[in-house]
Amino acid sequence: MRREKTAVLLFREDPREDLRPEEVTELRGLAEAAGYTVLAEVFQRRGRDRRFQLGRGKVVEAASLGPDKLIFNEPLSPGQIFNIGKEFEIPPMDRFNLILEIFASRASTREAKLQVELARLSYEAPFVRTIESLKKLSERPGYRGSGSYDVSMYRDIKGRMAKIRAELRAVEETGVRRRERRRKLGFDLVALAGYTNAGKSTLFNRLAEEAVAAKDQPFTTLSPTTRAVAARDRRFLLTDTVGFIDDLPLFLIKAFRSTLAEIVEADLVLLVVDLSDPPEVLRERVASCHGALWDCGCYAPLVSVLNKVDLITPEEAEERCRLLEDLAPTPVLVSAREGLGLEALLDAILEKLPPLEEFLVRLPASEAGMGQLSRLYEVAEPLEVRYGEEVEVLLRGRREIVAKALRGAERPEADQDMDDRSGAATAPEARPPKPGDPPPDGE
């Protein structure tokens, strides 16, 4: 029978700033998500201790409970990790290492496993020299010690990181080709983003009519999942992505660059927010998400989706909307679990996506022309087709996608004249206005 893992959580409160209750709740949630049973929470209000982060007495108190891990809310230096492990014979861990442990346990694809390994090595590389130097302090050869032991291990880590980055670059290139192919097929790309455990996967299941894992715990989703969604006269691809967390380290963003590319390259991002969070937590988490999107280079249009509206009263929802006026000026209130507000969300998505146009395409009445017509059917919605000496097709779609489809088909054979080639098509032209259409801009 497998023995349960246990941990004690340790918090150092800065004398100049109170510890926020949500920090305690979040660390406990992360520990439980990693499979630890939390035995106790130890607090101390003081400045940073150089050797143990907290005072020695508090670490003794935590260690006396016999946990498998001592989990610190504050980042630990290499020296502190070495000192705590040596003094108390219990491995210490800080918040970032706990997140990496969760990622490692949830990674199911080759890509996710490589990203987790790269994040861990990026985090650990600076520690190696310090810890190995402390261990080999009396053994280093040469005049006053040259540090040959830790340099060798450090080089090994750097070499492994270079290999992982090369593999992930290949994954990124595959992703670029995949997104280009999807756009050529007439799909808009919409990505879900937001703080971890905000309900992204539940919303994804509602919109895409899917059944991906959606649990009340952080970081349920590591590898992106994409499904097609049909909304009235549009179709788009919706992607569920990894959640953000407060103070997300830059090395973690860089390691997950191929996953976050699904957000960066999207035509529209749905920023999902847990509206049931306490007001002071809510604003900080939304700001944290905006910061993470900025760090990963996302400049796509945003729709703020305020989720879990079923868990609060209308008055509380109104108050929270006012609180977020500058960060989420035109939010959509939904309950992914109950299916509330989804029609309004689809309206907001369609309004923000690049507009569809109606235009006329003329094709030759030939076998090649029919082939082009078939390709156009794949990337745009045909409204009317008229057959004669030429085939005239009235389409609704995105102009650049249809133009690409036509350019891809206009390749003259070596023995044909450019002007005479079979299968030539005119560029798409705007359809003539119909009675009742709004006047063009400026009229």
- Give the separation between CA 39 and CA 10, rounded to whole angstroms: 11
The architecture that CATH gives domain 187-352 is 3-Layer(aba) Sandwich (3.40)
3-state secondary structure 91-153: CEEEHHHHHHHHHHHHCCCHHHHHHHHHHHHHHHHHHHHHHHHHHCCCCCCCCCCCCHHHHHH
In terms of phi and psi (left: phi > 0; alpha: psi -120 to 50; beta: otherwise), the region of 53 is left
Whether the model pTM is above 0.85: no
Highest mean pLDDT among 125-139, 284-298, 365-379: 284-298
Name the CATH superfamily, with its identifier, for domain 5-103. GTPase HflX, N-terminal domain (3.40.50.11060)
- The CATH architecture one would assign to domain 357-430 is 2-Layer Sandwich (3.30)
DSSP labels for 262-325? HHHT-SEEEEEEETTS-HHHHHHHHHHHHHHHHHTT--S-EEEEEE-GGGS-HHHHHHHHHHTT
Q: With 60 as the cut, is the pLDDT of residue 301 above it?
A: yes
**Contact (CB, 8 A) for 368 and 358:** no
pLDDT average, residue stretch 291-315: 88
The residues of the chain that CATH labels 3.40.50.11060 are: 5-103
- Which residue ranges are tagged as binding site for Mg(2+)? 201, 221
Mean pLDDT of the chain: 78
DSSP state of 77: P
pLDDT at residue 216 in the model: 59
Calculate mean pLDDT across residues 136-146.
Answer: 50
Would you state the structure tokens that stand for residue 302, as one six-digit string?
């945003």
User: Is the pLDDT at 71 greater than 70, yes or no?
Assistant: yes
Question: In whole angstroms, what is the distance from residue 158 CA to residue 124 CA?
Answer: 11
Model confidence over 185-222: pLDDT tens digits?
667 889 898 888 888 888 988 888 876 655 556 666 66
- How sure is the predictor about 77, in pLDDT bands with cuts at 50, 70 and 90? confident
Strand partners, 394: 360, 384
30 or 153: which carries more pLDDT confidence? 30
Measured distance CA(326)–CA(295) in Å, rounded: 20
The per-residue b/e assignment along 78-88, b for 16 or more CB within 10 angstroms, e otherwise, is bbbbbbbeeeb
- Binding-site residue numbers for GTP are 194-201, 219-223, 240-243, 307-310, 335-337
Q: Across residues 42-49, what is the average pLDDT? A: 90
Write out the two tokens for 83. 């000192």
Within the chain, all domains assigned CATH 3.40.50.300 are found at 187-352
Q: Is the pLDDT of residue 432 over 60?
A: no
As a whole number of angstroms, the distance between CA 224 and CA 192 comes to: 10
Residue 220 has a pLDDT of 65
Phi then psi for residue 268, to 5 deg, are -155, 140
Strand 188-194 to strand 92-94: parallel, antiparallel, or no bridges (unpaired)? unpaired
Pair of tokens at residue 401: 């996608």
Least confident of 79-93, 164-178, 252-266: 252-266
Annotated binding residues: 194-201, 219-223, 240-243, 307-310, 335-337
Stretch 227-244: mean pLDDT: 82
Task: Name the band, by pLDDT with cuts 50, 70 and 90, for residue 425.
Answer: very low
Inform me whether the pLDDT recorded for 21 exceeds 80.
yes
pLDDT at residue 234 tops 80: no
Domain with CATH 3.30.70 in the chain: 357-430
Averaged pLDDT, 156-160: 86
Structural tokens at position 366: 């030939």
pLDDT for position 316: 92
